[in-house]
Amino acid sequence: MTQPQLKLTYFDIKGRAELTRLIFHYGGVTFTDNRVARADFPALKPTLPFGQVPALEVNGTSYAQSMAIARYAAKLSGLYPSDPVKALKVDMFSCSLGELVDAFIDIVFKTQDADKKAQKQKLFVDETAPKFFTALEKLVEGKFILGDQVSYADIHLLDLVDNGIKWGIPSFTFEAFPKLADVVANVTADPKIAVYLAQQAQK
């Protein structure tokens, strides 16, 4: 099957497009990484589905919603299971990470009051994250969530850690979740991911 022409549009930050970028790089999928300046966004906005980014153009047609785009990217990259039950499992894992992403965004970007931010960070570190990660730790079957089979949910975990928790809430550690820490390490060790992360670190 011929690969479609792909153009991913987002700002020149990691944000909600980084998961799709990581998936494409892992899968060796060719795409145009269209990073737009915020000053140029008002002119671009009317051309986008729902007037928002990220947007993925597939053979000239634009699609929106970050997780819909990420799952499509996963299917192109061989990172979405064909088995329905395995797909259910990785979707469950990914949706749980999505709830943590929303909590992270609320703390780091939406809460301006310093005292409230500190309270929310403490709640995240002491209760919210441990609750989710305790459940997710039990789902890991080996090197990755599905054992030896990499899925987009493994990369989603790396994205949450690298693109969020590591710099936004550095007081949280994965010492109590060794299986999840190993998943992150195993994804990071992939040569294509390692090269991409090194390139981004130099920016």
184: which DSSP letter? H
Q: What is the pLDDT of residues 132-155, one digit of tens each?
A: 999 999 999 999 999 999 999 999
- CA pair distance 193, 203, nearest whole angstrom: 16
pLDDT at residue number 1: 66
Domain boundaries, the chain: 6-78, 84-189
* pLDDT score at 202: 78
The answer to whether the CB of 183 falls within 8 A of the CB of 140 is yes
What pLDDT score does 200 carry? 87
Fold topology of 84-189: Glutathione S-transferase Yfyf (Class Pi); Chain A, domain 2 (1.20.1050)
User: For residue 2, what pLDDT is reported?
Assistant: 86
Q: From first to last of the 203 residues of the chain, give the pLDDT tens digit.
A: 689 999 999 999 999 999 999 999 999 999 999 999 999 999 999 999 999 999 999 999 999 999 999 999 999 999 999 999 999 999 999 999 999 999 999 999 999 999 999 999 999 999 999 999 999 999 999 999 999 999 999 999 999 999 899 989 999 999 999 999 999 999 999 999 999 999 988 77
Write down the pLDDT at residue 90: 98
pLDDT the model gives residue 203:
72
List all residues 6 or more positions away from 136 whose beta carbon is below 8 Å from its beta carbon: 93, 96, 97, 157, 177, 180
Rounded Cα gap, residues 10 and 30, in angstroms: 17
* Domains 6-78 and 84-189 equal at CATH topology level: no
Among the four given CATH numbers 3.20.110.10, 2.60.40.1120, 3.40.30.10, 3.30.43.10, the one describing domain 6-78: 3.40.30.10
First-residue to last-residue Cα distance in the chain: 35
